Structures are given as structure tokens and as C-alpha cells.
Structure 1
């Protein structure tokens, strides 16, 4: 099934069920008011939502309405936790090679992850706001999964069953602010503003054989100002599966229902597939030409992030955002 949230009903939106081709929807208020509420009682709520989804698919829901993406908040307008990984080591290796460093052996066995911003997510059509172009505004096209409650100490095999929803995230980065923050030895803060989530999240069964080994095996397609930017294969070169990432997070603590776990920027060894972030493209240019030539995002630039099935149908809907200057009220 496919789930989304309307921009109504308060900060957490109103949960709706969306049909497979993203054209019709129905409010799920009689089942659960919000997606967070559904996730907190998932084993009981999910079958009822799925029944509503099947009725919508069959055209048997009387109060269905046409879906308008502009009316959508992110499926989870805010979440208790968002932990993001860097599971695609080709990206890590290229970035380190560009500055003359090697990839430590531990990176192949111990995932890189950080605590990301979760107090609010941008809707899929909300602008990317920044006070200055000098901040190095970058998109990062990633896959994200959402868990139910996960016990501390789960194995990857156990963690796989706790992946309840899959979607996309534009994990916006401000590249020019990152070096100084990392130099402090305490991680990201100002360099990681709010991210945008795809219009809908979907259950694993909705993906068919494109979901296996706790990975999404489809290309991540990105465009900037209408021009093709990349279509890196999400299921290729992912060093750690989502099950492994969740188990890593849960090593020393339980994971709450509604937690988002990100894959990190999709990147392949094959650079002909393009990139999923500008930092990756600039690194490729530096290694090839001695310097980067692709600029970071500027005000007025448009980004689009989407995953389609083998027949070209959008699965999660597209994240489409314009970069705008932020002016305090």
C-alpha cells in the first residue's frame, strides 16, 4: 500500500491512503489520524489500512478524492528520530581519494552514520531555503526506510522484519559549512538543514522483486533545472543493507516506531550512471580534470528526484523543489 499525509490537522498532518498510480486518495481518519499513530500500533493498524487501500484500488471507496501533490506534507511531517548512513562506499572512496586519503578498513565492516534533523521535514514541493549561495547548497538523493519499534540488540535478520515503509529523501547539505563543523570533531549541525521526503511511502510488498536483501534495486533518477543529472542504481554498491544499518543503530539502544533510516547518497563505481549529489559530481571532476566545474545550487535552481518501476511508473512520487533565498520575517 501507499501512504501520505495532507497539510491539515496540525503539525503531523492527516494520514491518507493513496492508490497505486498516485491519482486518487482517501482519508484514513477512521483508522489512524496520523502516520506516526499508525506506526505505533502497526501490527493492528496496517491490516486495516491495507483493506482501505484495496478498496481504493477497486474503486469501492465512496469518499475518495483526486490526489493533489501540492496539498501533501511529507508522509511523516516530523519524526522522533532520523539516522542517516553513508552506505555507498564508492562515494566515500572517491571523496577521500580526491584529498589524498585512503578508506580505512573499518569502513567496510562498520557503517558510517549520524543523527540527522527530524523535528520537521519539508514537503515534497516545499522550497529549499538558504540565506546564502555561499553555503554550498547541495541535493542528496537517498532511499529512506521507516521502522516500527525495534528492540535493542537485534540482528540484521531480525531488523529486516522491522522495515515497514520505504520512501525517498532529499537530504539537503550545505557543503561549505561542513569542513569547519567536522574539524570540531563533533559532527554536523548547521550544515544539515531540513530534508524533504517523497510524496508517499510504500510497504515492501508494493515493490515486488525490486525489494530484496533489504535494499531497493532500482535507479535513483535526478534532474537539475530539467537536465538529467544521474540515475545511480540503488541496489548496486550498497555496502550495508538497511537491515544492517538498523541493527547498527540498535546496538546500544532501542529504536522507536517512526524512526527513519537513510541510505546516504546513492553512488556507483560506474560514474557513467551520473551522480546523486553535486559533491559527488565535483569529486569525479576533480579526480578527472584536477578541479571541479559543476557549481553548487543557486537561487532559482530546480531539483527533481524520482524512482520509477520497470514500466516507467513513479513509485513514490517525485520530490520537486526550487532553491530560494531565506529572508527572516
Structure 2
């Protein structure tokens, strides 16, 4: 099942979307918002599945042509936003470029921070209000959205509480990142509001792309009209979604509508195959530094456009795209 939120108030209006992303139908009579659906998933999701089946069969009354421009973030306000750095090659390259090594305990637990959850931007909202001198960057990710998660859940149990997946763009201000992390209290001002892709999908909708631990596919990343990333998302992370959820749930339960990402997607093979590239400017510049001695790819400037999209291995878009431009501060 594919879902989205029409722009309406602060929390959007829930719609069911067809598999081909061409049509949709309002379902606010069943659940007014995505959060309302997540709050009562067990009872409401089967009703929406019936609507989805009818929509895909061309038999759903009230169906309309989908205009992506009408869509807000699927979950504009979330009760919790957690984001990781689970693709270790992403961390390794960034550290290597500045002459540093991986921490000795890197494999003991996933690195995760808690970010802004009260205002996710839509897929096409501009990145605005940030200073160019702060080195504006994007990060291409796939996020899970959970239902209730009990405290103390194990990694193997944790994935059963995932309700939805969507694209995530986690904006980063690279000039501020380093000094904040050096103070050892974590990200704060270096991580402004993030953005969600237009469409959320249930795990079963992904078919073979979801193996119960990771979401596979090819993440295409374009910056200024040039492709800088062609990344296999289902490999090269030693920690999967269950690991990340269980790590945080050691000391807290999750409310429905928790968003959790594994961080910028990255592939080990990019060391030898430049065409794989990277899911953010920072890592791409690290690769340039390691391989050529000089970082050349510029951080984002006003007028720049970034596009992030996940494709299956037949070349079909899985959950729409994020496409944003940068406006001046």
C-alpha cells in the first residue's frame, strides 16, 4: 500500500496512492491524517488496503489524478525523529579525509542522534534560511516510520513494528557539525529541519526490496543536474533497522509516528568505482580528497537543485522523489 498527505493544515489530509503513482483517493473518512492511521493501525490499515486494491483495479469511487505538487510531507509532525550513521563506509571516508580513523567501538552499537521532529518539509520545499558560509549539505536516506514500539524490544522483534518507509533528506551545515561534535553533546544547530519524500509505502509493498532488515534498490542522487550518487541501499550497513530501533528502545518505548533513519546511504565499492558516488556532498568531497588530494565539489549555493530518488532493479521509482532548490538566507 502507498499513502501520502495532501497539503491541509499542519498535519495534512490522508490519501491512498496507486502503485504507479498516477492516481489517488481521499480516505479522511477512515483516518483524517497519517498520525491518526498510525495511532490505530491494526484496525484502520485493513480498511485502507481494501481501498488500495480497488484503486489499483480502477474501481475506486472518488479517485483523482495525483498531482505531486499537492502533497505535504507524509507525516509533517512526528513524535520522535531519530537518525543514524549506520553505513560505516560513510563515516570512514569522512574521517580518513581529515586524517582520522574509525573509533575502536564503532561496531558495538549504531550511532544515532535525535533531531527536529516538529516540522518536516515536503518533497519539493526549498532549503531556506541557511547561510552559504555554513556549508549547506543534503543527505540521502530511507527512513522507517514505526507504530508503538515497546521498551526492551530485541533487534529481531523490532522490525515488526515498522509500518511505513519513505525517503528522507537530512539537511546538514558542515561548518557547524565539527565544532558541535567536538563538544561531545551531539548535533543541534548544525541540523536544521529535514524533508520527507512524497510517498510512504508499507513493507509488503516493497516486495523483494525488503528482506526484513534492509530496503534495497538504487538511490540516484543528482546535484546541479549531474548524477553524483548511484548507491545500492541494501548493503554495507552492519546495522539494520531492527538494530537501530532496539538500540534506542533499550531505555524508552516509541510512540506511533516515530521516524528513524540509518543515515546517509553509502557503498564500500565506491572506493574503486567512482560511478557509485555518494549520498551527500561531504562524503563526495572526502572521496575527492582521498583519491586526488583536493575536494572540488562545492557545497550548496542559492539556485542549486538536489534530486533524490530510489529505484527498484527494473528502473521503477519506488516512492517518488525529493527535489529541492536552495534559497538564500
Interval containing the TM-score (normalised by the shorter chain):
over 0.9
Aligned ranges for residues 11-160 of structure 1 at < 5 Å?
Answer: 11-160=10-159
Q: Contact 2:307/2:323 (CA < 8 Å) preserved in 1? A: yes
Q: Contact 1:21/1:313 (CA < 8 Å) preserved in 2? A: no
Cα distance between partner residues in 2 of 1:39 and 1:214: 21
Alpha-carbon offset, residue 97 of structure 1? 1.8
Q: Does 1:4 align with 2:10?
A: no
Cα distance between partner residues in 2 of 1:311 and 1:51: 27
Cα distance between partner residues in 2 of 1:130 and 1:180: 21
Q: Contact 1:213/1:241 (CA < 8 Å) preserved in 2? A: no
Alpha-carbon offset, residue 100 of structure 1? 2.4
Deviation string, structure 1 residues 160-179 (Cα, Å, up to 9, x no partner): 10011011101111111112
Give the 3-state SS of the residue equivalent to 1:315 in structure 2: strand
Q: Contact 1:4/1:18 (CA < 8 Å) preserved in 2? A: yes
Give the 3-state SS of the residue equivalent to 2:251 in structure 1: coil
Alpha-carbon offset, residue 184 of structure 1? 2.4
Aligned residues: 325
Residue in structure 1 matched with residue 192 of structure 2 by the alignment? 193
Residue in structure 2 matched with residue 254 of structure 1 by the alignment? 253
Q: Check 1:64–1:301 CA distance in 2 against 1; reply closer, same or farther (3 A cut).
A: same
Residue in structure 2 matched with residue 266 of structure 1 by the alignment? 265
Cα distance between partner residues in 2 of 1:117 and 1:263: 16
Residue in structure 1 matched with residue 323 of structure 2 by the alignment? 320
Alpha-carbon offset, residue 180 of structure 1? 2.1
Deviation string, structure 1 residues 263-285 (Cα, Å, up to 9, x no partner): 10011111121110000011111
Deviation string, structure 1 residues 73-123 (Cα, Å, up to 9, x no partner): 010011011100111000111112222222123211211000011110110
Q: Contact 2:308/2:322 (CA < 8 Å) preserved in 1? A: yes
Q: Contact 2:218/2:313 (CA < 8 Å) preserved in 1? A: no
Q: Contact 1:204/1:211 (CA < 8 Å) preserved in 2? A: yes
Cα distance between partner residues in 2 of 1:104 and 1:174: 23
Cα distance between partner residues in 2 of 1:325 and 1:250: 39
Give the TM-score of the pair, scaled to structure 2: 0.97
Give the TM-score of the pair, scaled to structure 1: 0.97
Alpha-carbon offset, residue 226 of structure 1? 1.7
Cα distance between partner residues in 1 of 2:255 and 2:130: 34
Alpha-carbon offset, residue 291 of structure 1? 2.4
RMSD, aligned CA: 1.0
Give the 3-state SS of the residue equivalent to 1:321 in structure 2: strand
Residue in structure 2 matched with residue 303 of structure 1 by the alignment? 306
Q: Check 1:129–1:59 CA distance in 2 against 1; reply closer, same or farther (3 A cut).
A: same
Question: Unpaired segments of 5 or more residues in structure 2?
Answer: none
Q: Contact 2:80/2:117 (CA < 8 Å) preserved in 1? A: yes
Q: Does 1:287 align with 2:290?
A: yes
Cα distance between partner residues in 1 of 2:300 and 2:211: 34
Alpha-carbon offset, residue 41 of structure 1? 0.8
Alpha-carbon offset, residue 189 of structure 1? 1.2
Cα distance between partner residues in 1 of 2:212 and 2:50: 27
Cα distance between partner residues in 2 of 1:104 and 1:26: 49
Give the 3-state SS of the residue equivalent to 1:284 in structure 2: helix
